[in-house]
Amino acid sequence: MALALEEAARGLGRTAPNPPVGCVLVRGGAVVGRGFHPAAGEPHAEVFALREAGEQARGAAAYVTLEPCSHLGRTPPCVAALIAAGVSRVVVAALDPNPRVAGRGVGRLRAAGTEVVVGVREAEAVRQQAGFRALITRGRPWVVYKYAVTLDGKVAARGEGNGAVTAAGARARVMRWRNELDAVAVGVGTVLADDPRLTTRGVAGGRDPRPVIFDRRARTPLSARALRPGTVVVTAPDTDTAPLEDAGATIVRAATLPGALRGLGQLHLSSLLLEGGPTLASAFFAEGLVDEVRALIAPKLLGAGLAPLNGPPRGMADAAALRAVQLESLGPDVLVTGLLNDIPRLGAAGDL
Ligand SMILES: NC(=O)c1ccc[n+]([C@@H]2O[C@H](COP(=O)([O-])OP(=O)(O)OC[C@H]3O[C@@H](n4cnc5c(N)ncnc54)[C@H](OP(=O)(O)O)[C@@H]3O)[C@@H](O)[C@H]2O)c1
Ligand SMILES: [Zn+2]
């Protein structure tokens, strides 16, 4: 399953509205096939693994990161392909979160006499599928709030990205996240101050996330480096956006942040890397729309500067505590990750 999760990761940022899925076929202790879902409209992971295995799939065990599909979509159901190939055992990391689908794939496999195990490395799989799960159950992207601070909790006031705060390892990690998430968002304040490109740089085989600029009054300069064909600009409902549209921007009109996120969901953006600045991030945080936090902390003291979040004071007892916290050293810097909202598992449609 670890190999299957690695396979699935190759599809991150490329499969929406479909999930990233990986599949590994094992027979007699050897891997005989592997595959991942590369993009919506392309074959599913199981199909690639079965193709590679050929006749060796007969009697093999399949390790799949998400319950195989049992319904006819753009491609024939994988459950039928697994049964036809003679796979004798299917190990599933996590059930499909779609309440109309959940359990059916497993049920059909069992009805055909295939042994099925569910729940192997489930937490990692669910985490990897957070975007897909948020999109299908909530109709909005999974929001990952990323920021870099000094040890005294200050973000640099200026400077592209966080180059000034953290070292090369942290910067490379941010580029990997941009490669893996569907979209990257900033407020117009950051566009005006830093003119970021919001591209993926230095990642082999990398691709750029879709830039999203939160800009209620359409103040984004037409010369902004993040403004390219397909860039999403989120504005207030009645803002004149003709010049931005002429520049190729996709406009999402919304009166509220939850409405804006639903608009991004309709564009099939399943995950959003929220890169700031403080005003926009604080608005997301205040509305409970930050699902996951990735904080990069540099062992430096600045003494003055912007805090990553601001808002009305609250007592420590009311602080939002992260769950599933993980720590990692990145050269001199420390990465702290954790969840503020639960990743949807089964059901619970439309909670926004
Ligand atoms: N080191 C870091 O991690 C980092 C990262 C990013 C930025 N920064 C720094 O942060 C500074 C910019 O800060 P900032 O707070 O002005 O930038 P910001 O948060 O990127 O942009 C703020 C603007 O976003 C717009 N906005 C759109 N929808 C909004 C909503 N629902 N709620 C609130 N605002 C919304 C508002 O303008 P409208 O009202 O016109 O829509 C607001 O003025 C820069 O100096 C930059 O260098 C640092
Ligand atoms: Zn399938």
Task: For residue 33, name the pLDDT band (cuts at 50, 70, 90).
Answer: very high
* Angle at alpha carbon of residue 142, lines to 37 and 288, rounded to 5°: 170
Closest to 130 measured CA to CA, from 351, 275, 343, 345: 343
The ligand 1 atom at the shortest distance from the C-alpha of residue 257 is 31
**Where does residue 80 fall: left (phi above 0), alpha (psi -120 to 50 degrees), or beta otherwise?**
alpha
Are residues 187 and 280 in contact, defined by beta-carbon separation less than 8 angstroms? yes
Domain boundaries, the chain: 2-128, 140-339
Residues β-bridged to residue 298: 150
Taking only the tens place, the pLDDT of each residue in 148-189 is 999 999 986 555 444 479 999 999 999 999 999 999 999 999
For residues 235 and 213, what is the distance between their CA atoms, to the nearest angstrom? 9
User: Residue 109: helix, strand or coil by DSSP?
Assistant: helix
Structure confidence at residue 160 (pLDDT): 47
CA distance 345 to 99: 9
Task: Indicate which residue of 7, 46, 67, 180 is catalytic.
Answer: 46
Ligand nearest to the CA of 164: 1
pLDDT of residue 159: 52
Report the range of poorest mean pLDDT among 22-36, 116-130, 155-169: 155-169
> What is the reported pLDDT for 98?
81
Residue 164, pLDDT score: 74
pLDDT, residue 158, reads 56
CA 264–ligand 2 middle distance (angstroms) = 25
Mean pLDDT of 187-214: 96
Cα–Cα–Cα angle for 299, 170, 325, rounded to 5 degrees: 80
User: Using CA atoms, how far apart are residues 59 and 306, in angstroms rounded to an integer?
Assistant: 60
Q: Which CATH topology does 2-128 take? A: Cytidine Deaminase; domain 2 (3.40.140)
Q: Which residue has its alpha carbon closest to ligand 1 atom 22?
A: 189
- Model confidence at 138, pLDDT cuts 50, 70, 90, reads very high
Residue 3 · residue 49 · CB < 8 Å: no
pLDDT tens digits for range 241-265: 999 999 999 999 999 999 999 999 9
- Render pLDDT for 50-68 as a digit per residue (tens, 0 to 9): 999 999 999 999 999 999 9
DSSP 297-347: EES---SSSB-S---S---GGG----EEEEEEEETTEEEEEEESSPPP-S-
Q: Which ligand 1 atom minimizes the distance to the CA of 147?
A: 3
Cα 170 to averaged position of ligand 1 atoms, centre (Å): 22
DSSP strands (E only) in the chain: 22-27, 30-36, 61-66, 89-94, 115-118, 142-150, 183-187, 210-214, 232-235, 250-253, 271-274, 292-298, 323-330, 333-339
Residue 306, pLDDT score? 87
**Cα 291–297–273 angle (5° rounding)?**
35
* Average pLDDT for the chain: 93
Fold of the domain built from segment(s) 140-339: Dihydrofolate Reductase, subunit A (3.40.430)
Q: Which ligand is nearest to the CA of 212?
A: 1
Whether 328 is catalytic is no
Burial class (CB in 10 A: 0-12, 13-18, 19+), 336: middle
Closest ligand 1 atom to Cα of 156: 1
**What are the tens digits of pLDDT across the range 273-286?**
999 899 999 999 99
Asked whether the predicted pLDDT for residue 24 surpasses 90, the reply is: yes
pLDDT at 350 over 80: no
**pLDDT at position 74, please?**
67
Ligand 1, from 216, 282, 293, 302: best to mutate by most atoms within 8 Å of Cβ?
216
Is 284 touching ligand 1 by the criterion CB < 6 Å? no
Distance, CA of 192 to CA of 210 (rounded, Å): 19
Mean pLDDT lowest for which of 36-50, 104-118, 337-351? 337-351
Do residues 219 and 227 touch, judged by C-beta distance below 8 A?
A: no
Mean of the pLDDT values across residues 314-333? 95
Q: CA 165 to CA 176: how far, in whole Å?
A: 18
Q: Distance from the CA of 342 to the center of ligand 2, in angstroms?
A: 25
197 has a pLDDT exceeding 80: yes
